[in-house]
Each structure stands twice: as C-alpha cells, then as structure tokens.
C-alpha cells in the first residue's frame, strides 16, 4: 500500500509554539528544580527543542521507553514499560514530555505509576493532543497543538518507525 504525507503543522509553527511553551514552563517553574521525562522515541525532537527554550538552571532530564502501538496505527491498549527512568523522582517537580496524547491509556498508566513514587508535582507537556480520541480522563497541562483524529508523522512521530526526521508534522494518507 502506497502512503504519502500532507503537511499539517509547519516547522515555523512548531518553533513558534515551542518558544511559547518554553516561556510558560520557565515562568511556572521559576526557582524550582524541574525534571523532564521524555517518552522515547517520539518525544526526542520536541524535548530537545523545548529544553532549549526553558530558562531554568535547575533543569534535568531522563527518559522512559513505553509502547502501546507496536507496528500498528492504533493503540492496542496494552501499555508496556520497556525502559524506566534511572533516578528517584521523590520530592521532584516532574514534567512528562510526550509527542502525542491520543486515547490517554499510555499517559494514564504512566501517571498512575509515577504518582506512587511521590513526586512534588507531576504534569504533562505534549506536542500534539487528540482529545476526541480520549478513553481515559487525562489532564494535559501544556499543549503544543490540538489536532483532529488524523494519523500523523514527522517531528519525532513515526509511521512504522519512518518519517521521524521530518521537521514538520504531516497527515499520513493511506
């Protein structure tokens, strides 16, 4: 089956929105330690761009690898933790950085797990949000862009591991 990609969010739009999010996060965490937890692999371009826009000398990062898709285009609902964070988050301000929040299943499981580790605060920042697809009640604190129910790739998001390198987000047309 042949696929093509139609641009949805441009590189310039992403850069401008990440700058705005960085300022908001800087203001919200001024004078506080902040740990960014990037969700591999899709969050890497967003996390790096965002990190450079956050004005906070007490900024650290860690990563988790979580899967609920496999090679499918729909979440299976079976959330697997493939790599956990390395350090304790007890008493720390934690911001989960994700490429997309869709059904909310993955984020719901992550929140439940991380809350048991007693962070001082626990919030979510996502590049893309698809609230129309929610099956779990998840509050996203910082949203880059709200999108309709489309299958997208680019800027870290993939189509079966391809297209992550694109500097924009596009809709995958099947």
Known catalytic residues are: 102
Closest C-alpha to 131, from 141, 142, 145, 146: 146
> Which neighbouring-strand residues pair with 173?
4
Measured distance CA(157)–CA(147) in Å, rounded: 14
Q: Is 78 exposed, middle or buried (0-12, 13-18, 19+ CB in 10 A)?
A: exposed
Measured distance CA(43)–CA(144) in Å, rounded: 12
- For residue 89, the Cα-to-chain-centroid distance in whole angstroms is 18
Per the CB < 8 A criterion, the answer to whether 49 and 36 are in contact is no
């Amino acid at each position: 089956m042949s696929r093509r990609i139609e641009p949805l969010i441009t590189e310039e739009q992403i850069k401008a929105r990440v700058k705005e999010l960085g300022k908001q996060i800087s203001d919200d965490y001024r004078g506080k330690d902040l740990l960014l937890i990037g969700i591999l692999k899709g969050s890497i371009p967003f996390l790096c761009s965002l990190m450079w826009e956050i004005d906070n000398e007490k900024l650290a990062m860690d990563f988790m690898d979580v899967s609920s898709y496999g090679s499918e285009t729909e979440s299976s609902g079976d959330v697997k933790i493939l790599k956990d964070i390395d350090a304790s988050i007890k008493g720390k301000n934690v911001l989960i950085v994700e490429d997309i929040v869709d059904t909310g299943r993955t984020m719901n499981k992550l929140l439940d797990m991380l809350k048991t580790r007693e962070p001082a605060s626990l919030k979510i920042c996502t590049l893309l949000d698809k609230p129309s697809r929610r099956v779990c009640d998840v509050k996203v604190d910082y949203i880059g862009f709200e999108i309709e129910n489309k299958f997208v790739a680019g800027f870290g998001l993939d189509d079966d591991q391809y297209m992550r390198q694109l500097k924009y987000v596009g809709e995958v047309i099947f």
